[in-house]
Amino acid sequence: MSKTAQEVVGAFIAAVNAKDLDAALAYVADDVEYENVGMSVLQGKSAMSEFLGPFVSNAERVFFEVHKELASDVLVMNERTDRFFLPGGKEIAIRLMGIFEVAEGRIIVWRDYFDTASFAAQMAG
């Protein structure tokens, strides 16, 4: 039995939380569109991996906390706080709204909407 869209996104988030980027990427289509709205649009699994890789590997711990979620057969929308716990006790916490489109058991579109100025300030500080 194939996974629902909500199960696919849940498994993806669980793999990110485990800092297992390879396992997370198994739930992503090769031609995925990944967008941090207001920052960049990345095309393809390798571009997504290159962008996310340093965040995951440089963090001591990663936790994507889902606060609320709504799902259909092909769409998952969630309100989350993505936390990256860095060496030296620094934490980057990004409160956001995420939208995932799923087809054939893979994430084909992932968009996150968040305050880019807050994110930039946290990265700089």
The catalytic residue among 20, 22, 30, 82 is 82
Q: Which of 68, 27, 70 is nearest to 49 (CA)?
A: 27
Give 45-62 pLDDT, tens digit per residue.
Answer: 999 999 999 989 999 999
Say yes or no to pLDDT of 1 above 70. Answer: no
115 is catalytic: no
Say yes or no to pLDDT of 12 above 90. Answer: yes
Query: Residue 1 is encoded by which pair of tokens?
Result: 């039995």
Query: Residue 59 is encoded by which pair of tokens?
Result: 């963090």
Task: Note the pTM of the prediction, 2 decimals.
Answer: 0.94
| Mean pLDDT of the chain, nearest integer | 95
112 is catalytic: yes
Task: Name the CATH topology of 5-124.
Answer: Nuclear Transport Factor 2; Chain: A, (3.10.450)
The catalytic residue among 30, 73, 112, 115 is 112
Ranges of each domain in the chain:
5-124
